[in-house]
Amino acid sequence: MQDALAAMQALATAEGRADPYPHYERLRAAGPVAPLGEGFAVVTGYAEADQVLRDASFRVTDAVALDRAMPGWRTVASWQWLSRTMLWRNAPDHTRLRRLAGSAFTARRVAALRADVTALAEELIEPIAAAGGPVDFMDEVAYPLPVSVICALLGVPVADRDWFRPRAQDLTLALEVFAGDPQELARADAASDELAEYFVDLMARRQREPGDDMISDLLAAGAEGRIRGAELVSHLVLLLVAGFETTTNLLGNGLAMLLDRPEHLARLRADPALSAAYIEEMLRLDPPVQVTSRYAGQDGELAGVALPAGTEVLLVLAATGRDPRRFAAPADFLPDRPAVPSLSFGAGAHYCLGAPLARLEAQLAFPILLEKLPHLRSAGVPTRRDRLGFRGYATLPITA
C-alpha cells in the first residue's frame, strides 16, 4: 500500500501529470482494486471498473454525497453547476435529464451530420495546406472543429467560439482529480458564472425567435415543465463544454501518436477505411478523460476488497485501457487488435452521451488531414497541458 500511496502523491505533481502511465502501473501492482486508507479505493482493473460503472449501487457524486462529505461545497459555484447536471445526478433525475438530451445524440442523428462535419474539417484544414509553414494543430483544427459542431447543434453563434475556449478550459478544473486548489476553483467558478449568464441571454433571444436547434427544443420542454431555470442553464453549459476539451484532446493525442509512428500515418493515409479502428486504439492508449469516480451506495466488496457504504472509488480509465488481463501488449499502439471496447467513454448509465459525435468527428478529420496534407510532419516539440484528469496538448506544431 505504501508504494500505491506514493504513486498517488506522484500523480499530484507536474512530473506525474506529464507521464502518469508508470504511476498507474505502480497502482496496478497493488491489485486491480487498491484500498488506499479508510473510505478510498483506486481501481485500475478493466473488469472491475466496468462492473462499478454498470452497477447502480455505485453512485456518481451528487448533492447528497457532497453534503455529507464536504459541507461547504455549496459556496463553490462550479460544483453547484455540476450538481445540477446529469454528470453529477443519480436516478431518477439523471434519467430525466439524459432523455431530454438523448434524442439529439443518437447514432442516427449524429450520422446525419457527416456532410457538415466533413465540410467543416475541410474548411479548417485547407488553409493549412495553402499556408505551408508551421501552424499549431490545436489552434487550427483540434479546438475549432468540435466547438463549431456543438455550437451548430445547440444553436450557439459560432463567432463566440474564441470567447468560450478559456472559459471551457477553466470550467473543467472543477472536475480535476485533485480539485480543491482555491485559485483553480475561483477560475472555474468565474467561468461557470459567465457561461451561465451567456446562456440566460441566449435563451431569452431564442424565446423571442425560436430556431431549429437544441436550445429552442429545450425551451419547449421547459414549457412542459420537464426542465427549466438554473437546471436548464446548467444542462446547456454541460452540453457545450463536455465535448470541447475531450474531443480536442482526442484529435491532438491521436495526431501526436501518428506523428510518432510514421508507418501508421502512412498506412492510415493509404487506407482511410482503417480510421475507426485507429480512433479506438488512440482512445484506449491515451484517453482524453483519464479518470472518473463513484462512491459506494451500500456496503459491498469488489475483487475481494471490502468497500463500506460511502467509500470513494477512483476509476482510472486510462489504466483500465492498459490492463494486461484484457489487452495483450497493452502499451503498444496496435490498431489491428481485436475490437474490445475500452472504457474511455465510460460505461453504463453515464456512458458518454457524445461518443457517437466525437467518434464521427475524429473518424472524418484524420483521413481529410492526411489527404489534404500529403507532407504533414511535426514542426517542433509539442507541449502538454499540465492536467491529470483531462489529458491533452497545449500546442502541437505541424507543417504541411
Q: Which residues bind ligand HEM (CB under 6 A)?
A: 86-87, 98, 150, 238-239, 242-243, 246-247, 250, 287-289, 292, 344-346, 350, 352-354, 357-358
Q: Which of 262, 244, 254, 242 is nearest to 284 (CA)?
A: 254
Which residue shows C-alpha cell 506522484? 10
Spacing of C-alpha 52 from chain mean position: 19
Query: In this complex, which beta carbon is closest to ligand HEM, that of residue 82 or of residue 400?
Result: 82
Query: In this complex, which beta carbon is closest to ligand HEM, that of residue 129 or of residue 349?
Result: 349
Query: In this complex, which beta carbon is closest to ligand HEM, that of residue 391 or of residue 400?
Result: 391
Query: In this complex, which beta carbon is closest to ligand HEM, that of residue 32 or of residue 342?
Result: 342
The minimum distance between CB 6 and ligand HEM, in angstroms, equals 26
The whole-angstrom separation of Cα 53 and Cα 294 is: 8
- CB-based closest residue to ligand HEM: 354
Q: Helices 214-223 and 182-208 sit at what angle, rounded to 10 degrees?
A: 80
The minimum distance between CB 399 and ligand HEM, in angstroms, equals 25
Contacts of 136 (CB under 8 A, 6+ apart): 395, 396, 397, 398
The minimum distance between CB 315 and ligand HEM, in angstroms, equals 8
Q: How far is CA 5 from CA 1, 8, 11, 30, in A?
A: 6, 5, 10, 10
The minimum distance between CB 369 and ligand HEM, in angstroms, equals 16
For residues 8 and 42, the answer to whether their CB atoms sit within 8 Å is yes
The minimum distance between CB 192 and ligand HEM, in angstroms, equals 16
The minimum distance between CB 267 and ligand HEM, in angstroms, equals 22
The minimum distance between CB 160 and ligand HEM, in angstroms, equals 17
The minimum distance between CB 87 and ligand HEM, in angstroms, equals 4
Run of H or E including 35:
strand 33-35
Query: In this complex, which beta carbon is closest to ligand HEM, that of residue 169 or of residue 246?
Result: 246
3-state secondary structure 153-179: HHCCCHHHHHHHHHHHHHHHHHHCCCC
Query: In this complex, which beta carbon is closest to ligand HEM, that of residue 174 or of residue 353?
Result: 353
Q: Which of 289, 290, 312, 292 is nearest to 302 (CA)?
A: 312
The minimum distance between CB 282 and ligand HEM, in angstroms, equals 9
Query: In this complex, which beta carbon is closest to ligand HEM, that of residue 87 or of residue 138?
Result: 87
Nine-digit cell string for 221:
420542454
Angle (CA) 293-294-299 rounded to 5° is 145
Query: In this complex, which beta carbon is closest to ligand HEM, that of residue 78 or of residue 344?
Result: 344
Query: In this complex, which beta carbon is closest to ligand HEM, that of residue 239 or of residue 400?
Result: 239
Contacts of 181 (CB under 8 A, 6+ apart): none
The whole-angstrom separation of Cα 242 and Cα 233 is: 14
Q: What is the DSSP string of 96-119?
A: HHHHHHHGGGSHHHHHTTHHHHHH
